[in-house]
Amino acid sequence: MKARWAALGRLESWIALAAMAAMTVLPLAEIVARKTVGRGLPGTAPVVQHLTLWVAFIGAALAARYDKLLALSTVSFLPPRWLAPVRAFTGSLTAAVAAALAWASIGLIQAEREAGTILVAKIPIWLVAAIMPLGLAAVALRVVWRASPRWSGRTIAALGLALPLILYQAAPMGSERLVAPALIVILAATLLGLPIFAAVGGLALMLFWSGGTPVAAVSVEAYRLAASPLLPAIPLFTLAGYFLAEGGASQRLVRTFEALVGWMPAGPAVLTVLVFAFFTSFTGASGVTILSLGGLLLPVLIKARFPENFSLGLVTASGSLGVLFPPSLPVILYGVYAHTQIDRLFIGGLVPALLLVLMTAGWCMWRGRRVRTEAGGFRLREAIAAIGAAKWELLLPVIVLWGIFGGLATLVEAAALTALYAFLIECFVYRDLKARRDTLRVVTECVTLVGGVLLILGVALGFTNYLIDAQIPERAVDWVRAHIESRWLFLLALNGFLLIVGCLLDIYSAILVVVPLITPMGEAFGIDPVHLGIIFLANLQLGYLTPPVGMNLFLAAYRFGQPLVRIWRDSFPFLMVMLAGVLLITYVPAITLKLLEILGR
């Protein structure tokens, strides 16, 4: 039996690898065809979009298999004796939501089959979209299996598979009798570690059902998101970040920035800020930066005689720097969902991103002014050698910017070029990775992360669609305008609200749930859409450090084996510095908009 499960796992990984390879090659073939014969390849775009659908749901199944479905880390506060029953309880609810979503997606498949829509080369769309119920069913079964090492716990979790049918009998469609109890149960379970997709998906299913709308609407929205034209950029840029993190890029970049700034006062601290910002722009503040670079740079800081509490705080805080730099995935998703031009968001975010980096580095220099390092002065020969060694990685941002803003490639094509470039330099130029040995592993890890994120995004879009149908954004705008007259007071309230959102939701699901609420408010108060987007993203970047459940706090506690309370305390000064930067970005619009004005964008 174990051999069969292992074979199934390898099959999933190989399918994920094939999908990612095709997603990389097809956009590049599109560029070549456009440049050589003057037109692109027919059907390439929809094929790549539907491959993203496969990556999303195979990745979700892998995330469930490896117990990596994203959830709040508040369960770590519970006494050890509570963990087993709590895990069985949350596993039961997760299985219920996944099973209900799988059933709902079958309705979508049936509708597509009746419509007879063809994707390409006589391949019907319903056949491609069948990965949705299959992936969700795999999530449900694996959650049940991992709910407990004992059959008693698994049996309790398996009861959740029947819960949708029980609720169907207890509350017919259109009935609101279970809304309040279900809301309380879901919120309590979320605090106990219920995966975020199950919390948001459960709310969406419950609200649609109580409103008299078939729950297939949730699956329709998930399909619409996964098949959106720009979404393939997220897994492709993430794959590039994984190849960089798994290769030797971190060591080469540390050497480069150490040669450039290590001789300065507090040079090792400044180098930490710069390296983390560079990496985070590719990993999208997914936590990969802290996990991959934290263990490398923390000893460097301590060896340079920085206090341990300062070093821990700096490494924790720096993990979210770089969210506004291209090709940041949150910026791309915000642009797609807020209908704001992505190139304008990237340009508008450059100065705010530099401001946050400089303020953090400046605080490091002030705090480290008395720390004496043995780096000596600037050594030109070492700087040239270090830059030469890392030149291929340092060229990555140039390639991305040239591809997107130079008109050579679309966003997805630039992402495919970046992924292929990272693969080639790490496997064949530097040879830190072996193509045959490491590619499958790296792609599997990437798809596991991406699947967990995209699953949340899909159900969050369904939840957001309910909010729009119920006219919640319009009512929120009316309430805000009735109680807040000052634009500046609105911005202050917005900052406070987003800080709370940022510490409770990951940045991706927050974009889908919150953006429809705040964009009409921003328009009502005359706030430029790009400025509003940078305010939103800068606040969510800060949310990674906001107690009690900021993601970076838990990642740092896990990575360095330190109590969570200590991580809170050590990172608090950096939180205050970055908060000051966010307030400057909020109340001085020119920081965001002046560069756009200069460039005529």
Contact 490, 306 (CB under 8 A): no
Q: How far apart (Å, rounded) are the C-alpha atoms in residues 168 and 532?
A: 42
- Is 340 exposed, middle or buried (CB count within 10 Å of its CB: 0-12, 13-18, 19+)? buried
**Encoding tokens for residue 148?**
């407990």
Q: Where are the alpha helices (DSSP H) in 408-486?
A: 411-424, 435-469, 472-483
β-pairing verdict for 118-120 and 123-124: antiparallel
Average pLDDT for 568-578? 90
SS (H, E, C) 82-110: HHHHHHHHHHHHHHHHHHHHHHHHHHHHH
Helix (H, G, I), strand (E, B) or coil at 521: helix
Average pLDDT for 533-553? 82
Please tell me the predicted confidence (pLDDT) of residue 532: 94
Q: Residue 9, CB half-sphere, CA atoms under 13 Å: how many? A: 16
Q: For the CA atoms of the chain, what is the radius of gyration?
A: 24
Please state, rounded to an integer, the average pLDDT across all residues of the chain: 84
Cβ within 8 Å of residue 142, ≥6 positions away:
61, 64, 65
Q: Kindly report, residue by residue over 31-63, the tens digit of the pLDDT.
A: 888 888 877 778 788 889 889 999 999 999 999
Helix (H, G, I), strand (E, B) or coil at 195: strand
118 secondary structure, DSSP code: E
195 beta partners: 71
**Encoding tokens for residue 316?**
């924790």
Percent of the chain with pLDDT over 90: 21
Q: How far apart (Å, rounded) are the C-alpha atoms in residues 187 and 185?
A: 6
Q: Examine the pLDDT at 512 and tell me if it is beyond 90.
A: no
The residue type at 162: A
Q: Kindly report, residue by residue over 318-351, the tens digit of the pLDDT.
A: 888 888 888 787 888 888 878 888 889 989 999 9
Q: Kindly report, residue by residue over 18-27, the tens digit of the pLDDT.
A: 999 999 999 9
User: 8 or 89, which is more confident?
Assistant: 89
Q: Kindly report, residue by residue over 249-272, the tens digit of the pLDDT.
A: 878 888 888 788 777 777 888 888
